[in-house]
Amino acid sequence: MAGGYSEARQNKPALVSLHTSAGTGNAMGTIVTAFLTKIPLVIVAGQQTREMLIGEPMLANREAATLPRPYIKCPPMGPVYISVPLDDWDVPYTRPVIPRSVSTRFGPDPERLKQFAERIHKAQRPALVLGAEVDKALAWDTAVAVAELLACPVFQAPMCERAVFPETHEQHHGPLPTARGPLAQYLDGFDLVIVIGAEVFRYYPWVAGPVLVDGTELLHITNDPNDAAKALICDSLLSDAGLALNGLHSLLKSLGTSKQLTKHYSHHENVLSKSKQNTSSGSLMTPLEAFSAVAEIRPSDTLLVHETPSSTADLVQAWPSTEPETCFTFASGGLGWNMPAAVGVAVAQKTISSGRLTVLVVGDGSFQYSLQCLYTAVQNQLRLIVLVPVNEEYAVLKEFAVLEETPRVPHLDIPGLDISASARSWGCSTFKALNRDELQRHFRTALTTQGPVVIEFPVDRTLRPLVAQTLSRG
């Protein structure tokens, strides 16, 4: 929840209070995600009194700062963890408290940025790949300006936790594939790829292949020294994404860069249109149909949070983001994050009285991880609609099993989960929709309902390929 709250407040730090070892243990899954999503949480954990610690009493933090270590305080932002002995709260602080500020962004090395601009200026077939740092830096406008100067396709970085570019813009070409070989193939034909504000690259399953095919070069701009260090192939430059885009725009203009939107990336052009033909063969809605039904009638300033692993691509297609800072998910893949995160986003709206709606799209499997957070949503009467496509299976792992060629993996079906009954046990309003009309009707009702509402709807169970395929060239 704190993570969602911070995200919805432009990554202001949020304070988290945990029990000692037990609480820290229970929270570690979300600390992992907060770390990878780079959310500045200040986590205060209880600790027994200093006098007791020598004897390692019950509920003491053992090696207080070791447990969360690998997932604490990445540069430039992330969770920090403070273990506070109980009796420290009683010690008076006698000095004046002088607030201090630390700059949280930095700019590019100007000489290196100039080299980058010159290489971009000379490129014949460039492509832009944008990542979450662009959204966090409030830099959509600058990204559009640079993209239009280059007249090139704009891809979203793979497994990206934010929308990063107007998804209805004609240069927007959707997300890159999530595995090494296919991603390299996908970028074949571009001579220069410029990755801004993302890792190079965030892969999910292993599919062999080179990082890039011959003939493709890569420039990389990030504000994370660790991401710069670990990138496999590229020249990297450290900078805030917004400051770098700004600088690039000036430099490219002064170099006279002005490209024409060409057809050299024709092998990508039909991706969206083709997949749009995805419709259900049976009586159940496809995820795409269901998401489209809601997207059509959502308020335009709705905040979207999502965790629906097997139908994320459908959601992104059905629900294009057109405003910055309106679409959130996790960078970690650690299921169970987004449902409480959505509660946190809705708490933030209530706190600042924005009046905006938060919509969570969460699969029936993902729904199970942290469903207790609905109680908080009910107790605080939050403006939150939870959409649950129900397929009664762990579909993304079935897709994984197809990729790995390991048939008959057991225990991937999850029948008999009564989503609505669960939600009602914490006092939540619920609806069940069997078709498009019912779904739109319930959503409209939910818009005028006090407190959170859960809408579940069964969906078609057709599996998709885990890694998007490159279409054949025309």
Residue 21 or 286: which CB sits closer to a second copy?
A: 21
- Cβ 174 to a second copy shortest distance, Å: 18
In the complex, minimum distance from the CB of residue 59 to a second copy, in angstroms, rounded to a whole number? 5
Q: Least distance in Å: CB of 426 to a second copy?
A: 7
Please, what is the minimum distance in Å from the beta carbon of residue 370 to a second copy? 10
Residue 43 zone, left/alpha/beta (φ > 0; ψ -120 to 50; rest): beta
Asked whether 291 and 268 are in contact (CB, 8 A), the reply is no
Q: 318 vs 390, which CB is nearer to a second copy? A: 390
How large is the greatest C-alpha to C-alpha distance in the chain, in angstroms?
Answer: 74
Nearer to a second copy, 265 or 375 (CB): 375
C-beta neighbour count of 112 within 10 angstroms: 16
The number of CA neighbours under 13 Å toward the Cβ of 60 is 14
User: In whole angstroms, how close is the CB of 276 to a second copy at the nearest point?
Assistant: 27
CB of residue 218 to a second copy, shortest distance in Å: 9
Tokens representing 1? 């929840």
| 71 or 431: CB nearest a second copy | 71
- Among 341, 348, 284, 276, which residue's Cα sits nearest to residue 307? 341
Distance CA 191, CA 435 (A): 46
Using the minimum distance from each CB to a second copy, give the nearer residue, 12 or 69: 69
- What is the secondary structure of 111-172 as a DSSP string? HHHHHHHHHHHH-SSEEEEE-HHHHHTT-HHHHHHHHHHHT--EEEPTT-SB--S-TTSTTE
**CB of residue 262 to a second copy, shortest distance in Å:** 27
Q: Please, what is the minimum distance in Å from the beta carbon of residue 102 to a second copy?
A: 4
Give the residue carrying structure tokens 């609609």.
Answer: 385
Q: How far is the CB of 390 from a second copy (least distance, A)?
A: 13
3-state DSSP assignment of residue 227: helix
CB-nearer residue toward a second copy: 58 or 283: 58
The smaller minimum CB distance to a second copy, of residues 16 and 293, is found at 16
**What are the CA-CA distances from residue 372 to residues 209, 350, 392, 438 (Å)?**
42, 20, 20, 27
Judged by beta carbon, residue 229 or residue 474, the one nearer a second copy is 229
- Asked if 192 contacts 213 with a C-beta cutoff of 8 angstroms, the reply is no
Q: How far is CA 270 from CA 21, 273, 278, 336, 470, in A?
A: 52, 5, 13, 34, 11
Half-sphere exposure of 364 (CA within 13 A, CB side): 26
Closest to a second copy by CB, 235 vs 269, is 235
Specify whether the CB–CB gap between 314 and 361 falls below 8 A: no
